[in-house]
Amino acid sequence: MKKDLIVYVAHIDDFECACYGYVLNHYKDYDKVKVITATTWPAKVPVWETNKKAFPADLREKLVDINLEFEARTLWNNLDNMKDAFYKLMDFNKRFDLLSHDQNDCHTDHTACFNVAKGMYKYCNRFITIYSPSSAHFHPNFFVGLDKEQYQIKKEGLDKYDIGKEQSYTKLGYYLQSEEHYNIGRAHVLENYVFDDYEHYECYKILKWL
Domain parsing of the chain, residue ranges:
3-209
pTM: 0.95
Q: What is the pLDDT of residue 180?
A: 83
pLDDT band per the 50, 70, 90 thresholds, residue 170: low
Mean pLDDT of the 173-179 span = 68
Query: What angle (nearest 5°) sits at the alpha carbon of residue 111, between those of residues 118 and 186?
Result: 95
Separation between Cα atoms, residue 24 and residue 150, nearest integer Å: 8
Mean pLDDT of the 94-114 span = 97
Q: What is the pLDDT of residue 169?
A: 64
Report the percentage of the chain scoring pLDDT > 70: 95
**Domain 3-209 is of which CATH architecture?**
3-Layer(aba) Sandwich (3.40)
160-165: long-range contacts (C-beta < 8 A, 24 or more apart)? 160/47, 160/50, 160/51, 161/13, 161/44, 161/47, 162/43, 165/43
Lowest mean pLDDT among 6-15, 45-54, 153-162: 153-162
